[in-house]
Amino acid sequence: MTVSTPARIRIFDTTLRDGEQSPGFTMGAAQKVAFARALEELGVDVIEAGFPNSSPADYSAVQTIAREIRACTIAALARCHPADIDACAGALQHAHAPRIHVFISTSPLHRQHKLGMSRAQVLEHAVMGVSRARLHVDDVEFSAEDATRTEREFLVEVFEAAIEAGATTLNVPDTVGYATPGDMRALFDYLRSHVRGAERVVFSAHCHDDLGLGVANSLAAIEGGARQVECTINGIGERAGNAAMEELAMALKVRGAYYGADTGLDTRKLLATSRLLSRITGMQVQRNKAIVGLNAFAHESGIHQHGMLKHRDTYEIMRPQDVGWEDSQLVLGRHSGRAAVADRVRRLGYVLDDAQLDQLIVDAKALTQTQHVVTDRDLQRLVEGEAFGQGWRIAGMRLADEGGAAHARVELSDPSGRHVTQGAEGEGPVEALFAALSHATGVGFVLETYEVHSMGMGADARGEANLSARIDGELVTGQGTSRDVLQASAIAWLDVANRVLRERQPLREAVVA
C-alpha cells in the first residue's frame, strides 16, 4: 500500500497588515515586532509585515521586522504604484527572504466605481507593478483584488500577464467574503487548468469572513489546488475578519486523511500566540471560539462529562495539548452531573458514600448561585463541612471626575456583615473604582482581561462585566451584571476577590474515609 505525502500548505500570516488595519486593532511598532517574533516561533512561512507607503510608522515597523526576523519570508504590501513598490523595497532591504506583494482590483464593480479603469488599463498597471517589484526582489506575489467577482476569462488574462512579468505567487482574494466553498474549489480548478504557466507559480487564497465562510472557503481552495493560504490569528481583519489561522491549521491536522495536506506550524503554540494578540490589542476572543476560546475544551454538561470520563474521544476530536492547552476542563457548574463531581472528589483523595456525595452535590449546586464554577478548593471546603460566607458585597458606590482625575468611593459589606468605606483615584473611573475596591478588601491582582457589554435592549438593558486575572498560575474569572455597567464591573471584581480570599484560608488536614 502506497501512502502519499501530505501536500505542504504555506501559511501566509497577514495579522500585522490586514488584521492590524481594521478598526480597534492598531498596534505600535514595538508590539508589531513582538508579535512577529511569536509568528516566527509558531512557524509561519510568510509574515506580511505591513504597508510601508501608508505611513512612516508602518515603514519603520516593516523595516525593523525585516531586519530581525530570519526564519520567515517577510512580505510588504503595495498597490501597483511605483512609489508604493519602491517603499516596500526600501523597507525590505535587510530582509533575509523579502517578498513584495502587489495588488490591483480586477472585478467590473471595482474597475468602474473604485479605479475608473478599463480592462486594458488594469492589465497595464498589473504588469507594471509586477515588473517593477521584480527589479527589487525575486519573490513577487500578485493579488487580483475582488477576484471572486471578476470575470473568469479576464482573471486568466491578468494572471497570465503577471506570470510573464515575473510573479511567483498568484493570490485569489475573496475580498468581500462573497464566495461559497463550491465557488472557491471550482475557481481554483479552473484557474490551474486554464492559466498558461500555472505550474510555475504557487496559487494562494485570501478569504474574508463576511458570511462566516472564511475558513471553509480556504479549505475548499486547498481542495482546488491552492498551496498557500492567507489568514490571521484569531481571524482578525477588515469588517468580519479573515480566515482564522488556528481553525485552518487544526482542520488540516484533524482531517488530514480527507484533505491530504498539512502546515509547518507548531500548533502547540497557537494558544500562546492568540493570547499575545489579545493582550496587545485588548480584544479578547469569545469564550466559545474554536481552538483558542476558554470553552474550547471545557465541559460542564453532565451528559458530556460522563462521556469524557468514560473515553475522551466521545466529545473531543483533538488533544487540547496539541494547540497549547494544559488539558481539558470538566467544569463543575449548575449543569454538572453526579459522575463529574464524584470523579473530581475521588481525584482530590476523598471517598464518600452515596449520602455524602448527594449532600455535596446539593451544596455545590447552591454555590453556583453566587459563582459560575466550583473549584477543587471549593469542593475540599464543602467536603470538610465549612460554610461559605457571602464574601464582600457592594453596599454603595459613588464616582466623580474632579480636576481631571477620577475619584471613586465604595461602601462594602464584608463577610461578617460590617460596612467598610474606602476611596481612591485613578486616570479613569474604572481604574479608580478597582483601586478603591483593592484598598477596602486588602486584595490586589493584575487584570488579564476586562470586558463590558450590554445585555438586552432599551429600558430592560443591563450591563455585564467579565474580567480575569492570573493568580498563582491559575486563570480566575469573575462576572457581574447590573443596570449600571460600573457597578457590574465592581461586582465582577469582587467575584474574583472573594475567590482569592477563600483560597488564602488554610484548609484543615484532609481526612480520607
**pLDDT of amino acid 166:** 98
Domain identity same for 352 and 437 = no
Domain identity same for 245 and 337 = no
Query: Contact 203/172 with Cβ under 8 angstroms?
Result: yes
Distances, alpha carbon 465 to alpha carbons 65, 200, 381, 479, 482, in Å: 37, 54, 28, 6, 9
Give a yes or no: residue 210 inside a domain.
yes
**pLDDT of amino acid 3:** 53
**pLDDT of amino acid 302:** 44
Domain identity same for 133 and 215 = yes
In the numeric block, the cell 463576511 is attached to 210
| pTM: predicted TM-score of the whole model, two decimal places | 0.75
- Positive or negative, the CA dihedral 281, 287, 289, 292 is positive
Contacts of 305 (CB under 8 A, 6+ apart): 299, 330, 336, 337, 339, 340
d(CA 266, CA 234): 16
**pLDDT of amino acid 388:** 53
Domain identity same for 436 and 480 = yes
Domain identity same for 193 and 306 = no
Domain stops at, among 281, 307, 332: 281
Q: What is the pLDDT along the chain (513 residues), one digit of tens a residue?
A: 455 788 999 999 999 999 887 777 888 889 999 999 999 999 999 999 999 999 999 999 999 999 999 999 999 999 999 999 999 999 999 999 999 999 999 999 999 999 999 999 999 999 999 999 999 999 999 999 999 999 999 999 999 999 999 999 999 999 999 999 999 999 999 999 999 999 999 999 999 999 999 999 999 999 999 999 999 999 999 999 999 999 999 999 999 999 999 999 999 999 999 999 988 887 888 878 999 887 776 644 444 444 544 555 565 778 888 898 776 555 555 556 677 777 777 766 777 788 887 887 787 777 666 556 666 667 776 776 655 556 788 899 999 987 778 999 999 988 888 899 999 999 899 999 999 999 999 998 888 888 887 765 555 567 778 888 888 777 788 878 788 889 989 988 998 888 788 777 655 444 443
Give a yes or no: residue 292 inside a domain.
no
Domain identity same for 259 and 306 = no
Phi, psi of 103 (to 5 degrees): -145, 155
Beta strand pairing status for 329-330 and 393-402?
Answer: unpaired
**pLDDT of amino acid 297:** 66
Q: Could you list the residue range(s) of the whole structural domain that residue 254 is in?
A: 7-281
- How many domains does the chain divide into? 3
Domain identity same for 68 and 166 = yes
Domain identity same for 147 and 233 = yes
In the numeric block, the cell 464518600 is attached to 352
Give a yes or no: residue 126 inside a domain.
yes
Domain identity same for 94 and 168 = yes
Give a yes or no: residue 150 inside a domain.
yes
d(CA 151, CA 172): 13
